[in-house]
A and B are shown apart, each in its own frame.
Chain A
């Protein structure tokens, strides 16, 4: 084979491979859509619990991604979780009294931080803290509360409806209505 043809073919192969690597990195894995603009600023928010929130999770406002979670640590005095949020520099007018919530996309989806804008004229600046937060929804706690309330209701009503076959039948026999 002519050496020129061979070199062209090898060049084609290498180009294809490098293009594949770039496509995988940028198109498939998508480096941050927030961008690494120098205007980006960081704010913090404290939560009682962050559930399954992970570093790199998105920060959304009205469903639109405007930043991401940059760091997660624990406050040594209050034992709350401190999250550092990096916000796109283009969103520089978020009111200071905005609320940060940890939400879940879909029933089983990933967790993200949702920002709900407040009405204050002052805006959040680099290093500010969001005062109003709502912690992650922990399913176990909810189930625990549900069970507790069920038990209380059961006790209040004096187990009047022992129709559940799974529970051992209480002493008073089911009265037919």
Chain B
């Protein structure tokens, strides 16, 4: 393949995806008129991802507490463990790891579902019946993805800091004082940080859902195309999430 063709394909894909985003946004009011479809997708995307998010959050919090404790204990500052875990989770790991898991768990299934719908001519069938597949199929999934991501990221952060993660290892296992664990978090974190974490996860939600739906909708209508769409959803959205994370961090946390 010639270089010119590669660049041309890339630009064409980018333009196509951007136009697709505008079409989806234009179709969002139609999705709001059909809340049943959105609820159904919230179940598929959000509720079914809950377990994996909660468990991953707990383990991330545990390992942060374990690693942080070793370093902090050298300086006799083990009581600052809470704020170390909370900062790491709220600012970075919460939104980013949730988005990566979301891409693997929900994004891939979205892409495969839409791709298969296309391969089996369901989308063309809808068009034939004068039903706009963007409004009926794509927009509710997009909206559900945008709603689900901040909720999942918050659950992740809460699990990692408090319920089972950092608190379990730091306070229960390693013996950091419960009061100082929480008071350090209180004095270190502002509600502002939570807000920025929510903004991050919202942006990631838009990005991952957009990529997954675009890949599915524009997949080649055969089994190879569906498999390729699923793979590139996970790859592209992981890269985009990490790149966006850098940009957002540079903007928000000066």
Q: Which residues of A approach B to under 8 Å, CB–CB?
A: 3, 6-7, 9-10, 12-14, 16-18, 20-21, 23-25, 27-31, 33, 56, 58, 108, 110
Closest 3 CB pairs of A and B: A17-B151, A20-B154, A13-B47
List B29-46 residues whose CB lies under 8 Å from chain A: 36, 39-40, 42-43, 46
Cβ of A7: which chain B residues have Cβ within 8 Å of it? 39
Listed A/B pairs (28) with beta-carbon separation below 8 Å: A6-B39, A6-B40, A10-B39, A12-B47, A13-B42, A13-B46, A13-B47, A16-B155, A17-B148, A17-B151, A17-B152, A20-B157, A21-B151, A23-B158, A23-B162, A24-B157, A24-B194, A25-B191, A25-B194, A28-B90, A28-B161, A28-B189, A28-B194, A29-B185, A29-B190, A30-B186, A33-B186, A58-B187
Report, as a range, how many residues of chain B touch the other chain: 20 to 34
Report Cα–Cα, A138/B181, bound state, in Å. Answer: 28
Report Cα–Cα, A3/B148, bound state, in Å. Answer: 19
Q: Mark B12-25, 1 if CB is under 8 A from A, else 0.
A: 00000000000000
Cβ of A9: which chain B residues have Cβ within 8 Å of it? 43, 47
B77 within 8 A of A: yes
Report Cα–Cα, A108/B184, bound state, in Å. Answer: 13
Q: Which of A12, A13, A58: most chain B CB closer than 10 A?
A: A13
Is the contact region of chain A dominated by helix, strand, or loop, or is it mixed? Answer: helix
Using A14-B147, A16-B155, A21-B151 as known contacts, list a sample of 17 further A-B pairs with CB atoms less than 8 Å apart, ordered by residue number in A.
Answer: A3-B36, A6-B40, A12-B47, A13-B43, A13-B50, A13-B148, A13-B151, A14-B42, A20-B151, A23-B158, A23-B162, A28-B162, A29-B185, A29-B189, A29-B191, A29-B193, A33-B186
B106 within 8 A of A: no
Q: Mark B141-160, 1 if CB is under 8 A from A, else 0.
A: 00000011011101101100
Cβ of A108: which chain B residues have Cβ within 8 Å of it? 77
**Contact A29:B194 (CB < 8 A) given known A24-B154, A108-B77:** yes
Report Cα–Cα, A23/B155, bound state, in Å. Answer: 10
Report Cα–Cα, A12/B157, bound state, in Å. Answer: 18
Cβ of A33: which chain B residues have Cβ within 8 Å of it? 186
